[in-house]
Structure 1
Amino acid sequence: MASHESTSQVREAKREAERDRNRALQRVSDMCANGQRQLVLRFLIANMRHNPALAKIHLWQLDVAMFHVGRYKALKTVRRMRETIGDKSNVTDGVASLGWALAGREESVRMSTWLFLLLLREDLVRFEPPDGFPYAMLYGRDGDKGDDGGNMA
């Protein structure tokens, strides 16, 4: 009987953790809809201290909540991040989570690169060559950004 009760408790704890993650993702979506995207990471990191279940939010889920993209596009961005940094971990793109991306100083390049790639993909940041940049013609005439908005992505 005790074994059955402990199994039920484990299942309920997992369901509660999933509900917590879903509530956090909904809050992220609401924040972005209200023009508060810049507060998302602060919100998540602060709440991860009190609720470690949030560390298991997958990066692709966060991307979907923030930018309303499809799962394929979100997973592609995770894959691109991992290729960019030469990630050799055994974590798959679909399982890569906030906790994985923020595991430590060495691993913080994961989060930084992922965020930068999101900014590029969503055209929220641009590379604008300075005056006299020798390769300005690669970005359009006389340093103009050209049709691609200056993105090299």
Structure 2
Amino acid sequence: MMNSVDLTPLYRSSIGFDGLASLLDSALASETTASGYPPYNIEAIEENHYAITLAVAGFAQEQLDIQVEKGVLTVRGEKNAKDERNYLYHGIATRTFERKFNLADYVEVTNAALANGLLTIELVKEIPEAMKPKSIAINQKTSAIEHKAQQKETKAA
């Protein structure tokens, strides 16, 4: 079992990934303590479109809560009333739960739907135009440095 990851080599060649260590530590800690309930799928529908589907059989829409705060998607399910039924076998789990998903930068929740006991949350990664790669034209003109050097040469002559 691994308690922590040494990210020293990453820090030597990267800038701005300070939160990565805490993200990895929390992911490793949650994997060891997570109950596995409710089961879920994460699906890449197409480029920059994703879906998280949770199996929430037995939960009504008003018993589910979805929130996004500081890049963390949290899904909660809470059963309020005690079930008064007399089960001979109770195999469908309907206990209170909380699932958290860390979202990358620019990932936004666009929709959530509950159908046939499955809660599907749709996500889209929309990178702002200012953050997208852009081509820089290379001009044939002399650069400012070369221009100053040429001015000094003509003054000296």
Shorter-normalised TM range: under 0.3
Q: Scaled by the length of structure 2, what TM-score is found?
A: 0.22
- Which one has the largest radius of gyration? 2
Structure number with the higher helix fraction is: 1
Structure number with the higher strand fraction is: 2
Q: Scaled by the length of structure 1, what TM-score is found?
A: 0.23
- Name which structure has the greater RCO, CA cutoff 8 Å, separation 6+: 2
